[in-house]
Structure 1
Amino acid sequence: MAKPKLMTREELYELVWTKPVSNLAAEFNLSDKGLNKKCLRHNIPCPPVGYWAKVQNGHKVKRTPLPRNTNPELETVMFWPKSDTVIAVKAPASHLTEEQFEKALAYTIPEQVNRYHSVVAACRKAYKESGKRRNIDNYGRVTFPRLTANPGFKVTPETFDRACLFLQGMITLFGSIGWSFVERYASRSDTAASWGFKHGNEILSFEIKELVTKMSVSERNSQTETGKRTSRRNEPDFSFLSYSPPYYKSTGKIEFAIELYSPGFKVRWKDNGTELIEHQLSTITQGFSRAFEYSRLRTIENEKRRLEYEKQEAVRKEQARLQRIEKECRERLFSLADTFDKVTKLKHLITAFETKGCDDPRLVEWLSWAREVANDLDPLAEPRRILDIHEAIGDKEIFY
């Protein structure tokens, strides 16, 4: 795995003021915005808008000085290289066994279910109990109150039963090949539960969404006249406007999608002119198998990144700790030099008084006391004590 690139604030400051950020960002596999954020975090000023245009036209321009840094943790800037491992897992192979694939080919979504999975059953119960008080959004899809069981449905009332049958079928099919239907984020009580299919240590979320189409003006007017819109709750009143908000109607077409961002292979299946999603179970199963492998490899990659980051973070913190110790030791050294200078002057003063001579016993007593003070403060009097203090500074913990 490639290691991150490290540089000091001064080095990055010199780069951003000698080359446009738009060109420099690509060298670090960042966007312009990403590099600007990096500079902002480390308190590195960037050229203002129009700076490079003035440079090209021969105008004299001034740099914004690099501010002084008092935080050792910000002294080193870290850039992560583009990972080859992530590129390699763009199109992972399916790991379905022959037996698992045959089960997917032979399985058929049931037209009727006597007993649903507890999650699907809870969702159906909430849907039926809502009755006429059912919430419908402007896309015509059913919405559920916060924290109400919803295993990924975004469908209209017309296709709700079909979505339940399809999901129950997928739960049964995937269960027969060893993939379980589980709740994600079970420990979080502040949000609605989310479900997904699990294989090994990987859990994949999904959604079952109905494709809708926009209503025509005549259809919206007809809907209003028949009173169907009165069953929709929480709809804003647009009567004061010169136009009506767009509403959508059911198409009966359903899309089943794995929630992965641009993995490089198919993760969406929908009804088309020749095939319903109920007849695409083999390709859906293959897609999930590839998605599980993709997620597994990505988890490994993320773990490697985390360990490498922790290693680099430990090195950076140790460097910062050593810098703090060095700073404190130097401050102690300069303090000793100042003390030595003062003691030397004090001894010269005492010697001057003694040379002048005086029989007053009070002066003799005062000079004796002054000599004790000078000897007590003299850094040369106890060199071992100075070394002990120096070593103690290096041994003590430095907290941030």
Structure 2
Amino acid sequence: MKKIERSVLYHIVWSKPMIHAGPELGVSGTGLKKICQRHEIPIPPQGWWAKLAAGYKLTRPSLPIATAPSLERVTIGSRRYLAEGGTGPVTPRVNCSTIVPEAKPLALPAWIERTEAALRARRPDEQGIVRLKRKSAPRVSISADSIDRLTRFLSGFDVAIGEQGWKLESSDEGLCVLVGLEPVAFAIEDRLSRKLHQPTAAEMAEQARRKRLGYSFLSDTPWPKYDHAASGEMAFIVQGSVNDGLRRKWGDTSRRRLEHALPSIIESFAEHAAAQITEREHWAERKRRWDEQAARRRLEEEERRLNQTRLKVAEDVDGVLGQIAMLGRVIDHISGLVDIPDELAAYQSWCDHQQQELHGQVSGRGLVNRMIRAGVLKSTL
């Protein structure tokens, strides 16, 4: 695993095509592109190197400032690592020496016996496919004629994962391979063959009836364009992330059968486990940054509302002070009169009482109580 500065990686990807730079760093060109995107590093657009070779004068964009300090250090490592606990140092490339037996073994592991029994107990669908979807069995969709072959392949697969020290674990995605502590799900399916549908006599009669009645809202061909059926060609699928650039599917070809791809399949489990860990850590980091930004926005919003409340309290206090000053002027005016009738004296007394009450509202304790009611301060009681 390599750790380099973001600026160094920027100069690397602009010095040579990613298809060459990636393998030198231990990843694919696609993987290097995704690393650059995660670390906000601009990459050459499509056709950049061809234009450069043709003599065009091109200007590369400058490296923008990273939005987070954590993006300044880039970790680039081969995906071929597995960790106790999900993260850890790079381990050597897995080495699978197991081959698929040509004959069904006399003794099979319990999980393979359960899988075979469940498949034989099921009835094939209209395409000739037998499907199995259980927590304690791999996801399987194969033809009934391929069950024996599947059993032989799974027996070799079981020996191969045991050779790596891995185990099997039940999950909602079906049976998974536990690489270290990282579960990687898989599935086995039969490739469907496709051929043009040959309409039956009943379908032809239905077509004639529709044309005769003029059913314009219905198709003139009441049958599917193609028929799909089991081909007998098996394919193995690692159900890892679809965005990590890793190979996920192996199958029968004109040159070799699926059984010969077992070493490559076993190797891919270590790669997919590493990719899953990397992707999970990436999204955990992004979630942490999102949470920090959300928390910062909440604090800013709370501060804004608090300031608005403080201003409202200040406006209210200013209004009370204005009333106190007004009442004081009225009291002084009445006191300056030569002849004060009893009614005016009573009013002066009321103004004085009212002024005292208002003074109490904006005194030390009264002002604190007002701020507590407004939410500017918290009560200590």
| TM-score for both structures, normalised by structure 2 | 0.61
Is 2:184 the partner of 1:169? no
Give the partner amino acid of 1:151. P
- Is there any run of 5+ residues in structure 2 with no aligned partner, and where? 7-36, 41-66, 82-89, 204-217
Mapping for residues 1-400 of structure 1, pairs under 5 Å: 88=76, 92-93=79-80, 97=92, 101=95, 104-109=96-101, 111-114=103-106, 116-130=108-122, 134=123, 136=125, 139-143=127-131, 151-185=138-172, 194-218=174-198, 242-245=221-224, 246-259=226-239, 260-355=241-336, 358-360=340-342, 364-378=345-359, 382-383=363-364, 385-386=366-367, 393=375, 396=378
Question: Relative to 1, partners in 2 of residues 1:394 and 1:117: Cα closer, same or farther, differing over 3 Å?
Answer: farther
Question: Relative to 1, partners in 2 of residues 1:215 and 1:157: Cα closer, same or farther, differing over 3 Å?
Answer: farther
- Deviation readout 1:229-272 (Å, 9 max, x if unpaired): xxxxxxxxxx9963422321222111112122132232221111
Q: CA–CA distance in 2 between the matches of 1:183 and 1:156?
A: 24
RMSD (Å) for aligned C-alpha atoms:
4.2
SS in 2 for 1:317: helix
Question: Relative to 1, partners in 2 of residues 1:196 and 1:332: Cα closer, same or farther, differing over 3 Å?
Answer: same
Structure scoring higher RCO (CA < 8 A, sep ≥ 6) equals 1
**Aligned sequence identity (%):** 15
Q: CA–CA distance in 2 between the matches of 1:310 and 1:163?
A: 47
Please state how far the C-alpha of 1:316 moved relative to its aligned partner: 2.5
Question: Relative to 1, partners in 2 of residues 1:217 and 1:351: Cα closer, same or farther, differing over 3 Å?
Answer: same
Please state how far the C-alpha of 1:207 moved relative to its aligned partner: 1.9
Q: CA–CA distance in 1 between the matches of 2:74 and 2:346?
A: 82
Q: CA–CA distance in 2 between the matches of 1:114 and 1:354?
A: 119
Please state how far the C-alpha of 1:119 moved relative to its aligned partner: 4.8
Give the partner amino acid of 1:267. R
Q: CA–CA distance in 1 between the matches of 2:284 and 2:273?
A: 16
Structure with higher Rg: it is 2
Question: Relative to 1, partners in 2 of residues 1:182 and 1:148: Cα closer, same or farther, differing over 3 Å?
Answer: closer
Residue 71 of structure 1: aligned partner: none
Question: Relative to 1, partners in 2 of residues 1:181 and 1:371: Cα closer, same or farther, differing over 3 Å?
Answer: same
Residue 61 of structure 2: aligned partner: none
Question: Relative to 1, partners in 2 of residues 1:345 and 1:114: Cα closer, same or farther, differing over 3 Å?
Answer: farther
Question: Relative to 1, partners in 2 of residues 1:378 and 1:326: Cα closer, same or farther, differing over 3 Å?
Answer: same
Q: 1:86–1:301: 8 Å Cα contact kept in structure 2?
A: no
Question: Relative to 1, partners in 2 of residues 1:351 and 1:315: Cα closer, same or farther, differing over 3 Å?
Answer: same
Please state how far the C-alpha of 1:80 moved relative to its aligned partner: 8.5
Q: 2:317–2:362: 8 Å Cα contact kept in structure 1?
A: no
Q: CA–CA distance in 1 between the matches of 2:128 and 2:75?
A: 40
Q: 1:266–1:287: 8 Å Cα contact kept in structure 2?
A: yes
Q: 1:328–1:393: 8 Å Cα contact kept in structure 2?
A: yes
| TM-score for both structures, normalised by structure 1 | 0.59
Say how many residue pairs are matched. 291
Runs of at least 4 residues of structure 1 off by over 6 A? 79-87
Q: 2:135–2:175: 8 Å Cα contact kept in structure 1?
A: no
Question: Relative to 1, partners in 2 of residues 1:184 and 1:215: Cα closer, same or farther, differing over 3 Å?
Answer: same
Q: 1:93–1:293: 8 Å Cα contact kept in structure 2?
A: yes
Q: 1:126–1:148: 8 Å Cα contact kept in structure 2?
A: no
Q: CA–CA distance in 2 between the matches of 1:341 and 1:385?
A: 16
- Deviation readout 1:65-109 (Å, 9 max, x if unpaired): xxxxxxxxxxxxxx89997889946x63466647x51xx224434
| 196-205 or 80-89: bigger deviation | 80-89
Q: CA–CA distance in 2 between the matches of 1:119 and 1:318?
A: 54
Residue 12 of structure 1: aligned partner: none
Q: 2:142–2:189: 8 Å Cα contact kept in structure 1?
A: yes
SS in 2 for 1:334: helix
- Deviation readout 1:105-159 (Å, 9 max, x if unpaired): 24434632455555544444443334xxx3626x5433458x6865211222232
Please state how far the C-alpha of 1:213 moved relative to its aligned partner: 1.0
Please state how far the C-alpha of 1:373 moved relative to its aligned partner: 2.2
- Is there any run of 5+ residues in structure 1 with no aligned partner, and where? 3-25, 30-78, 186-192, 225-238
Please state how far the C-alpha of 1:184 moved relative to its aligned partner: 2.8
Question: Relative to 1, partners in 2 of residues 1:149 and 1:202: Cα closer, same or farther, differing over 3 Å?
Answer: closer
Q: CA–CA distance in 1 between the matches of 2:314 and 2:272?
A: 62
Q: CA–CA distance in 2 between the matches of 1:80 and 1:379?
A: 52
Q: 2:136–2:171: 8 Å Cα contact kept in structure 1?
A: no
Give the partner amino acid of 2:144. P
Give the partner amino acid of 1:242. T
SS in 1 for 2:245: coil
Question: Relative to 1, partners in 2 of residues 1:335 and 1:127: Cα closer, same or farther, differing over 3 Å?
Answer: same
Question: Relative to 1, partners in 2 of residues 1:336 and 1:107: Cα closer, same or farther, differing over 3 Å?
Answer: same
Q: CA–CA distance in 1 between the matches of 2:378 and 2:180?
A: 46
Please state how far the C-alpha of 1:174 moved relative to its aligned partner: 0.8
| 337-346 or 262-271: bigger deviation | 337-346
